[in-house]
Structure 1
Amino acid sequence: MKKLILSLALFVIALTGYSQGFSFGPKVGLSQTKLDLKSDEFKNGDSKFGYHVGVFARVGLGPLYLQPEVLFTQTQGQFTFNPDDQPIREYEADFNRLDIPVMVGFKMFNFLRLQAGPIASININSEIKDATNTVQDVDYKDATLGYQAGLGVDIGNLIIDAKYESSLDNFSGNVGNFETDQRTNQFILSVGFKLF
């Protein structure tokens, strides 16, 4: 994962010399997250709100651009455990991670943007709780890969992005003694400001 991050950073620096525009600035936003669990014993719950804060850079290449971001992201999820021979238990999940999306986009009409690209998520601190305690035997992955796609609008130095994100990889292989494929899907609304 460190090699991937270093390679992306060097790629952006190299493109900066050949670009028609480079911008950089802070970015914040909200997300609405829903867990997607593929298991007979678990049922997906309601969607939850989260937030992200970080920085973005944009390298312009004519109508095309590359926009890498580094964001601290906090998301939540809810699900229930409903096996045949046990009472229903509700769980709340909290995920704190470092997200590194790299959007490739196309500008239209000087203000509208179409964009899509991969996102690497590095787990910082994640936990699942039931009504009594934190669940200890959950095997979290250190990093996962996903994708984002959406639209963006530029108004002066203000950028607004609306994206959908889904994971290509599960973030844990089990909850308790039960195997499951857990993924997060979220709608993201972000606002950034170009400092230069």
Structure 2
Amino acid sequence: MKHFFLIFALGAISWSLPTFGQNAERRFFSIGLRASLNASWIGELPASTQDLQNISREDLKIGYVGGIYTQLRLPLGGLYLQPEVAISQVGGKYRYSAIVPNLAGIDNVYENFKTLSLTNLDFPLLIGYRFALGPIGLNLNLGGVFSAVLSAKETYEQEGFQGLVNLGRIEAERNIKDQINNFQAALQGGIGLDFSRFLVNISIQQNLTEVFESQTANLNLTPSELALVLDRETQRLLTAQITLGFRLY
């Protein structure tokens, strides 16, 4: 993925050299490539309950975005529509304690550390306004992002205790696509600059859809398995990203 970003940057620079320093022509329709680096986290965590405690965010989840953008200029000054198609990687890292009784009715305490990773096919639809500042354009944009989840996995570390007795430690990765909402919706807002064929944009995206579907049924689960699904409520992703774009036409 790092090689993709390097090739993208070198190709864009070489293509733009003949027009560098000239004001980009404002076309009715334009199309280009975009590549982003993002940082995402769980913006809303489950509330603490008798069984779910010590919930906290950990490190940011770093991901990449690559795709195509188009701009349709509207006959209202600098107003434009910007539909996009992109592949994105988002997620979050967090930890919590789950208290689950065993078959003897004795409470087991499980310390869980999780990394959630989603790969999405995104369809952003933004409306923006461009303010001309000589050869540079200042762009403000706002809109919605509709996503289809292509893959979802969860990497977790779990350590269990029964009083002072250590029940063991587990480190594993599992596919959780059947446990999440496979279609997500979000709001996105950003600000950026364009010059010649280049554009740079910084944006914030807030998911409106909860990551997980309704909590998994608790039937036929062992205490340690139950401890891994008690967090399946009220989780929404928040993402910050910086984007480099290059106009092809």
The TM-score, its normalising length taken from structure 2, stands at 0.66
- 2:199 aligned residue (153, 159, 171): 159
Contact 2:91 2:237 in 1 (8 A): no
Describe how 1:24-173 pairs up with structure 2 within 5 A. 24-36=31-43, 37-40=45-48, 41=52, 42-61=55-74, 62-84=77-99, 86-110=109-133, 111-131=137-157, 132-135=171-174, 139-173=179-213
Give 5+ residue unaligned stretches, structure 1. Answer: 1-18
Give 5+ residue unaligned stretches, structure 2. Answer: 1-25, 100-107, 158-170, 216-227
Distance in 2 (CA, whole Å) between partners of 1:87 and 1:168 is 30
Greater fraction strand = 1
Contact 1:25 1:55 in 2 (8 A): yes
Work out the number of aligned pairs and report it.
178
RMSD across aligned positions (CA):
1.9
Runs of 4+ in 1 over 6 A off after TM superposition: none
Contact 1:143 1:171 in 2 (8 A): no
CA displacement at 1:87 relative to structure 2: 3.2
The TM-score, its normalising length taken from structure 1, stands at 0.83
Larger radius of gyration: 2
Instruction: Show the counterpart of 2:229.
Output: 176
Instruction: Show the counterpart of 1:5.
Output: none
Query: Percent same amino acid at aligned positions?
Result: 22
CA displacement at 1:76 relative to structure 2: 3.1
Distance in 1 (CA, whole Å) between partners of 2:114 and 2:82 is 36
CA displacement at 1:150 relative to structure 2: 1.1
Per-residue CA deviation, residues 67-125 of structure 1 (Å, 9 max, x unaligned), is: 01101001231111213551321111111011111110011125001110000011000
Distance in 2 (CA, whole Å) between partners of 1:39 and 1:28 is 35
Q: Which amino acid aligns with 2:241?
A: I
Secondary structure, counterpart of 2:179 in structure 1: strand
Query: Cα distance 1:100–1:162, how it changes in 2: closer, same or farther (>3 A)?
Result: same
Which 10-residue stretch deviates more, 120-129 or 37-46? 37-46
